[in-house]
Amino acid sequence: MIGTLLVKERKEPALMALFRAGIIRPRMEIATGPLERGIERGELRPDISVDVVVQAIAGAFFARHLVGGAQDDAWLESVFDTLWRGIAAG
């Protein structure tokens, strides 16, 4: 579905706008909450861009899917361990 929307976006930009508003943004907001709380508690660096972190996580999933790799527990742990090194406080 996302691939189709991306192809159609030039001719029918309203479809992608609806998808972003109804699907993407609400999920981004759900994902940003824990990161914002981590910043408030001092667990995460206060200078990180929460949106960039969420996009990096989502991008990792899309990229893994495109190359045909398994999204197993070991891979998921590797993604979060890698990101944690860049976002963790102190």
The pTM for the full model equals 0.80
Q: With bands split at pLDDT 50, 70 and 90, how would you rate the model's confidence at 64? A: very high
pLDDT value, residue 4: 84
pLDDT value, residue 90: 82
Domain count along the chain: 1
Q: How many other β-carbons are positioned within 10 Å of the β-carbon of residue 60?
A: 18
CA 75 from chain centre, in angstroms, equals 16
State the residue range of the domain holding 37: 2-87
Supply the DSSP symbol for 12: -
Determine what percent of the chain is predicted with pLDDT higher than 90. 69
Residue 40 pLDDT greater than 90, yes or no: yes
CATH number for 78: 1.10.357.10
